[in-house]
Structure 1
Amino acid sequence: MKRSDEPIYWYRVSRMIWVVILGMQWVRFTEPIWFQQTTDIVTWTLIIVAAIDLLPIASLVRNIGKLLSVAIICRVMLIKYGIYMPYGRLFPDQILQMLMEFIPYIWFALITWLVLELISRLLLTRKYILLFLAADLIAFAILDSFTPYQLWQNVAWTVFAGLGWLVCLHLRDYQLSYPHGWRRLQQYPFEIIFNILLIFAGVLLIGTSVPSVSPILTDPYTAWKGRGGGQGTGSEVQSAISSAIKDKDPDAQGVLSGYSRDDTELGGGFEFNYSPVMSIDSPLRTYWRGETRHIYTGNGWADFDKEKRDYEVFRGLTTPAGLTHEQAGNIEMREVEQTITMQSDETYPVLFGGYFITKVSLLDEGRGGNPKLSWAAKEGELRWGGGFRGSQPDYPVKYKVTSEIPVIPLTELRGASYKHLYAAPIDEVYLQVPSSLSGRVKDLAEEITADADTPFKKMELLQEYLRMNYVYTNKPDISLRRSKDFVDSFLFEVKEGYCDYFSTAMVMMARSQGIPARWVKGYGPGRLPDSEDMRGRPALVTTTAYQVNNSDAHSWAELYFGEYGWIPFEATPGFTAPLLYADESPEEAAADESEPQEPVEDNVVEEEPSWLSSNSTAIRYVSLSIILVALAWLLYQLRERIYYGFVRLRLGRSLTYADKIAYGTLRTVKKLQRQGFERHGHETVREAFERIREEQPELSVILDHLLQKYESAIYSPNTATNKDWLSVQQLCHRLSRINHDKK
């Protein structure tokens, strides 16, 4: 028997759709650690083999078709990506080539085919389907907890496909067990589909509306990872994934986020790494400044070995108080102490702190040796171990810095002219522009800033333009790049990117307008413990320090404004530099300190990630609309019961069958009036029916029967029965339907 003749062929089709959806969740999970050609081969194999399996042909023919499709898919994809270049005759030359060059890619396709075959043959009952779905969800839960991946979307699609599969299975069983009932159900396809959609909409609405709740207990993995006081970079699983991602793309497309060691080649993309770096006990929320760069090469920023630094070297656990800063400005400073506790065993080239650092003390108990610190007063960098590559002493686990945070007189600075700000000679190193930077970058900067009359106002316009006209993504499409210059390609070709793109463009466009600028990298502020957690679980909260993760790694621009010194500018969309302003009222400043704003991290603007975060509002509206339509439809279906409920309330007693017959008939008369039949105020029901009979003789039989039931209920001493009431209902429905169809 061919498949098209089988009574449950529809179930085979729907089941395969759900299986493909489930399979795509695993393809999506493995995509970052697979070559793109492998992902495409598996994806197309999954879809095409599933489609061939549904064809109404013999099993042997289907399997031959699947085998040929696997070979064709591998051939097409490998040619597309330049891995396989056919030459010679198809047989035997190209066949021999394919046998050698298709490995290992063809194994992925064959395994995908094998998995589909196993699912088709083994998952035949509800029990096995539930076990399969449970294993799927448990696997995603483990991977979500123990790896850097965020797999909520995969879980949501798995639940969706699993529910759909089980619903189809239930309907198939009903069809086989009750064929007569199934044929009756087929008369109401809209009602069945609508009820299924209603259930799914309710699930989605609940899922997207439930608020996030912090965990009451720490899971064993997190507790194990933090058993050493929060030290450690994470698990071996994350390291393995990091290595796999780096191996996948040697051009850094997909490296993990974190503090960059090499900025000579900017571009590409990255995956988010949420492992902890440090916790910082600070009375103020600031950027945690690391290094600066001032030589732009057209591809990135020159390594610090090629940038001249004048170092002041200190040895020992504590630097003398009062580290000097060049070009710090003459504005008011606020002094704060910040204690940094490292939670990573990596060695960084600098010590971090708020800008400007004036003193540092190493707090490691029992630290021996005589560590070397190098202070670059011009750049504001405190380099660890002398700042040179090669062997370095153990990076301190805990240290304290004293920082001076500038209080910016914003109104005064906005009014300062170029002549006033740059009366003294400008250090040309901060105006350096390579020959690779095209003139259209300068032209664009001039056009953006044309309406401002002071340097600071011009830079505010430039900052706002970058934030409003370019898209943040951690995976920019670098295939759009044509220009050799990184900034030029970003502004005019790629038009999307992350902090390195925006901050570098801000620096170079500022320089093109004669404003000294430099590039800074470090970390964003991080997060404080959730205030609700602190209120609800005070015994579990041991610190109020900012938690900084590798996902907080960040870069920004600093622009020089003469006597006002270096001022940070944040051109990356979604980020706000935590600055202090002299124009801010004391009450606002106190509020900022007591309740710091939630910092915006790179992960809040992650691409793909999560369809949920970007589309949850749309999902809620769609789900709510479906539920409202369902309620309206339900009210329409129950309109008669609602009507008789109101009649009962008006009479103040239960309705007899005679009452229902009388009010039901009168309700039908009113419905006929709305359909065009007139009933004068003095007319009885009999008179109205006789006039309708004259206009439409074909309704005579129904009208006579309905009139007889009505008058019997009103005037006869006999008690009306439920049978009489059901008969009147049928007559009223027939009368309304016939007249409606005629209209």
Structure 2
Amino acid sequence: MIQRKSLLESLFKVVLYGFGGLLLWEWLQPVNQLTDTDNMGMFIVFMCLSLLTYFLRVHWVVRILILMGYMTLAIQYLYSQLSLFDLAWIGELMGDMKLNISRIMEADWMLLTNSFRTWLFFILIWLISYLIHYWVTIRRNIFLFFLLTIVFLAVLDTFTPYDADNSIIRVMIIGLVVLGLLAYSRLFEHEKLTVSMDGLRRWLIPLSIMVLASGTIGFAAPKLQPQWPDPVPFITSYANKSSGDSNGAGSKRVGYGENDTKLGGSISDDQTVVFYADASTRHYWKVENKSHYTGKGWTMLDNHGELTEYDNDQDIVNLTSAAALPGMRLQELKASVKMEQFYNHVPYPTPSILQRVSADDADQYMFNDSTNLLTAQSKSWGRLKLTDYEIDYFLTTFDRNYLRKVTSANNIPENIMNTYTQLPRNLPERIRNLAEKITSTQDNWYDKAKAIENHFDGPEFVYDKQDIPYPEERQDYVDQFLFETLRGYCDNFSTAMVVLLRSLDIPARWAKGYSDGVATIKNGESIYMITNNNAHSWVEVYFPEVGWVPFEPTKGFNNTNRFYDASVNTQANMNDHDAAITTPEKREPSQPVKKPLEEVDQTNQRTNSKSVDISWKVLLRNIAIGLGVVSILTFLFYQSRRKWLPYVFITRYKGKNSTDTFTNAYHVLLKQLNRAGVQRREGQTLREYAVYVDTVYSMANNNMLKLTEGYERFLYRGDQEKQVWKQYQELWENLIKETTS
């Protein structure tokens, strides 16, 4: 009979956990449909594994080991290209964790890697699984989670393309079943009844009839059209009105723009995808550079420049048979680009030397030697907006030692010096003084550029897109940033570095384009997603015989440009000069890999067919990250409540003298003892329990027993509680403090 009772209770819990898992599954379905999250099966298995460990009451240490082990193996499988038995992936994983933690500390949420976002998603599922366990087995009431699920689905149904009609009906059915079963559980526990098949049958039959009837009506009944106006257009229009006043002031939307004559002002995020790139390594994507600084922004005095024309698929430069370039190494690479937003310009990798650009629609390309702007041309239609193109290029890395040889403007063409050291006549003198101060200990151009670049990593500078002012009418844009606001985004940092370099007569120019974007792995290939948020500006410094070398002064951004020391990486048969000169490896150009981009195209077609906008994907992803972080902090705070909660109660009851203070305080102590693991057994009297507590905490003075005797005298004899509480308050405080150790 005991075995049958235990079996029934176990089956009852299995059913409750199963329905709780179904509610959690309803949370995962919209994530699968509205975002680009793949491999949902892994997350569902993790959810089931987490619920199983709670159902089996696995020790918390073992549970953490099991779930963390599963998470680690899943991350390795999804994101690492190394074998599971190649332990180097552990170092790769730790490096990724360290990088993302630093980005969290700097609030760079958009720079978090996909692998770390997956970690947070796993942890969020883990926390929700714990809440289901808590509500099912301890509170015996899952109404709050049931209500939150309804609200979550209703919000998605209203503000996203997700259709939650059937989901809400399913949740209502699951919720009614779970609430009914938990009500049965609470009733039998309160009345101390024995769980039996006959009792379950009497409870389940009417519950099943009610749920089936309501579910059938819910699915079959006609649905009214929306009775209230759609709030999305109103919210959108209100947001657009709030973004700026009638004069055009306010927050600009981040993204690539051609007009840079007036820099400054706040900018708002825009997750619109500009293009996808199938590339083998990270690097920036350049569009153009500008040379003339006005004190307010950038212009090109020579708007046309010298145009060079190249036919489609024609070699722009072929370095495999040319003489080696001094001071740099070249790596021959290929990239495929799929444009989502169609511009006249053609983004290309930097720092690099372009070898070939090819597209099905283009007949030729125009390259502006002055602005470095690359555009596609059609003989029939003129300037062309490309959809897909491929680039063969040589990615460059630079020899630090070779660059350090440059200490003056010798051997630099006069037109380079005149154009790229230009500054306004009214430039404040303190900018030059600051540049000289920063570089006072350096004797070459490379170290001076690095000193200025590192200057912006100081704690006084803040990367921020909001509340960034425009300079006053007679105020210099760089002067305002360097000496007054000390906060801004890439335009502030990059323009300031160019001006500081030019004040030292070092030729520098302002480059703009896109940062490296967010990488995803498809079929072992890296696909980079570049959005409007990746619009970026940086600095390029001219070195004789080497050319333009990129630098990254913007705080929070890493320079994807690579430097090396030739003196360290030399071959035995190379002299000091030859060590700095390498030629790219000669090999036949490989055919472009189109499969991953075709997969991206298919994904976009499916997305378009469902009218799912990418901004909702990013919004949901950010919400998941935020909920994950908040949930983790809340969970840790809740788990440590045994340490801090007693001091809250001590403060609460210190100044109270009401008629029920002693009673409430004694019950609070009993709950705190239970949290501390000193549980009262069933049928144990208060005095027996008090003796047990004194034994656990080795109290020679029998403090718990004395407090219990005082509580019983008040409870049964009706002593004046105010006097009793004053008498036992200090004893109660000492006891509840013991539970924190």
TM-score (norm 2): 0.49
Which of the pair is proportionally richer in helix?
A: 1
Which of the pair is proportionally richer in strand?
A: 2
Larger Rg: 1
TM-score (norm 1): 0.49
With CA pairs under 8 Å and 6+ residues apart, which has the higher RCO, 1 or 2?
2
